[in-house]
Amino acid sequence: MARRVLGLVIVAVGAYLVANPRVVADALALPHAKPTQWINLRASWGGTLMGLGAFVAWLPAMRPWPRTVLGLLGWAMAGIAVARLVGFAVDGSPDTRQYIWITAEVLIAAACALIIARRARS
């Protein structure tokens, strides 16, 4: 129970950073003049934190190791993808690189979920 609560708290902090990327930009003196820079701030900091929090809340046990590694990768990519999509909607003007990143993030998260599901059935 404590693990799930901790995970949800981490997700909430990540969601706050997704909604307020200026906090990260100001704290780390990162550039944030262009829409793509805002999108990257949301995805890199808030999205990663959301994914890690979701992983902590989801993780049933550390073993078997492949499930743990796939879960960490999948949840991290899912969190980053959600934050990037928020950036697309709020900041607008994503460039081609942003579309490549979102495609990769979604494919990696889906692949991890499929592999975990297949391994659980066998």
Look up the pTM and report it. 0.93
Please give the sequence-ordered ranges of beta strands (E in DSSP) within the chain, or none if there are none.
none
- CB burial class (10 A; 0-12, 13-18, 19+) of residue 96? exposed
For residue 35, is the peptide bond before it cis, meaning its omega torsion is within 30 degrees of 0?
A: no
Rg (Cα) of the chain, in Å, rounded? 15
Tens of pLDDT, residue by residue over 8-17, are 999 999 999 9
Q: What is the pLDDT along the chain (122 residues), one digit of tens a residue?
A: 899 999 999 999 999 999 999 999 999 998 888 999 999 999 999 999 999 999 999 998 888 999 999 999 999 999 999 999 999 999 998 999 999 999 999 999 999 999 999 998 88
